[in-house]
Amino acid sequence: MADKDYNVYQGEDGKWRGERQDASRASVVADTQKEAFEATRILAQKAKSEVSIHRADNNRIRAKHSYGNDPTSTKG
C-alpha cells in the first residue's frame, strides 16, 4: 500500500472512520460503515488510490477497492 491509500474501520467509540495511511487523524467520521466508505471513496478517487474496508469484529480487511492505481501492463 502506498501512503495515499485509505482504510475504513470502526473506532473504539463505535464510529466508523476513513483515514489515509500516513495520517494522524481520520479524514471521515460517520455513524455507519456505508457512510464512511462512500465519503472515503470520493477522496480515494481524487487521489487515484485504494480503499481497504475492515471488519468491525476482528479488524481484518474484508474488501479492497482500487481507483486508478492498477498496473496497466497486466495480462488477463
DSSP-assigned letter for residue 59: -
Which distant-in-sequence residues (6+ apart) come within 8 Å of 52 by Cβ? 1, 5, 6, 7, 8, 61, 63, 64
14-42: average pLDDT = 97
Residue 42 in grid coordinates? 470520493
pLDDT, residue 2, reads 63
User: Residues 38-70: pLDDT tens digits?
Assistant: 999 999 999 999 999 999 999 999 999 999 866
Average pLDDT over residues 7-12: 96
Task: Tell me the residue range of the domain where 24 lies.
Answer: 6-66
Q: Quick check: is 33 in a domain?
A: yes
Residue 55 lies in a domain: yes
Task: Please say if the pLDDT value at position 12 is more than 60.
Answer: yes
Domain total in the chain: 1
Q: Give the three-class secondary structure for 35.
A: helix
Whole-number pLDDT of residue 30: 98
Of 8, 9, 11, 10, which Cα lies nearest the Cα of 41?
Answer: 8
- 26 found inside a domain: yes
Would you say residue 10 lies in a domain?
yes
Residue 74 domain flag: no
pLDDT at 68: 82
